[in-house]
Structure 1
Amino acid sequence: MRSAPRSMSEEVIPLVEESAVVGKREVVTGRVRVRTVTDTIEELAQADVQHETVEVTRVPVGRVVETAPEIRTEGDVTIVPVLEEVLVVEKRLVLKQELHIRRRVEQEAVEVPITLRKQRAIVERTDPEDPAPEGPPT
């Protein structure tokens, strides 16, 4: 079956159309107060310290030498030659003395009281109906 072509004009009648609008609003569901507390702890800082002393011994020699001896080390002693020119009929180099230098290292433990600081945060929850606190928390 075939349908006959329509000869009538169709009329469109506008109907009501709904539209949705999405919005958002802030709602306070709770409050928190954060404050920091600094605690101090007294402790003893420990360390090993050392100090060094030098002992100088003058050793008379009184020997004639042709050239100046070099500074030398024998064991833990450093020997520094001290020279003097002496006028004779001829000029001679005389080793007057040597300085013997010995190093001593001493070590001792020391304790010094010090103060260390440590912070911690305290968070308190409050009711959303309570008024907000005035000024910064302490």
Structure 2
Amino acid sequence: MANPVPDPNAPLDDQEQVPVLDDALRSDPQTVAEEAIPVVAERAIIDKRQVVTGHVRVQTVTDTVEELAHASVQRDDVEVTRVPIDRVVETAPEIRTEGDVTIVPILEEVLIVTKQLVLKEELHIRRRIETESVEVPVTLRKQRAIIEREAQAGATVADEAEPENDNPPPR
């Protein structure tokens, strides 16, 4: 492997002789020419500033719409029927339900020589459920935005932003 640093005293083989500074000083001063190469660098400076290109004015307007709200309501009506029985029983009957009728026994103790339990009457309670459709007026509010853009020259352009709705409000 060759030595990367050449020996300064060693003669150069097959190469042209390089003039040394001493040789340039010893030669004729008119033959030595100096060249000055200017070094120039550019630099970019970036800056920013605010520029008003126009104005925007936003208003919100609330519209009211009268609509009918539909609903189903239930009402329970109770019908009480007194059924006279007047029968002697040994024990008090329980409250029972037959179909849609709840039967509540009404008892009375009667004083005879002996005491007997007499079923005096029964209350038959029937429950009926009625469903009725009602319509109630309600007031709904919807907002929309009105946007006005003022250009630099003073001309006004109006945009109206509608809410996303299948039923737009009447105007």
Which residue in 2 is equivalent to 1:133? Answer: none
Which residue in 2 is equivalent to 1:136? Answer: none
Q: Does residue 1:28 correspond to 2:52, yes or no? A: yes
Select the residue among 8, 14, 19 that pairs with 1:4. Answer: 19
Which residue in 2 is equivalent to 1:65? Answer: 89
What is the alpha-carbon distance in structure 2 between the residues aligned to residue 109 and residue 63 of structure 1?
A: 46
What is the alpha-carbon distance in structure 1 between the residues aligned to residue 84 and residue 20 of structure 2?
A: 144
- Partner amino acid for 2:71? A
What is the identity percentage for the equivalent residue pairs of Structure 1 and Structure 2? Answer: 68
Which residue in 1 is equivalent to 2:144? Answer: 120
The root-mean-square deviation of aligned C-alpha atoms, in Å, is 2.4
- Partner amino acid for 1:3? V
- The secondary structure found in structure 2 opposite 1:68 is coil
Select the residue among 34, 47, 51 that pairs with 2:71. Answer: 47
Which residue in 1 is equivalent to 2:11? Answer: none
Distance 1:88 1:14, change over 3 A: farther
* Alpha-carbon distance, 1:13 to partner: 9.9
Q: Comparing both chains, which one has the higher relative contact order based on Cα–Cα distances under 8 Å and sequence gaps of 6 or more?
A: 1
Please give the per-residue CA displacement for 1:113-137, whole angstroms capped at 9, x wherever unaligned: 111111111111112355xxxxxxx
Which residue in 2 is equivalent to 1:78? Answer: 102
* Alpha-carbon distance, 1:2 to partner: 3.3
- Partner amino acid for 1:108? E
**Which stretches in structure 1 are left out of the alignment for 5+ residues?**
131-138
- Partner amino acid for 2:93? P
Q: How many residue pairs get matched?
A: 127
Please give the per-residue CA displacement for 1:73-126, whole angstroms capped at 9, x wherever unaligned: 122211011112223333322211110001122222221111111111111111
What is the alpha-carbon distance in structure 2 between the residues aligned to residue 54 and residue 63 of structure 1?
A: 26
Structure label with greater radius of gyration: 2
Distance 1:92 1:4, change over 3 A: farther
Given the two structures, how large is their TM-score scaled by the length of structure 2?
0.64
Which residue in 2 is equivalent to 1:97? Answer: 121
- The secondary structure found in structure 1 opposite 2:47 is coil
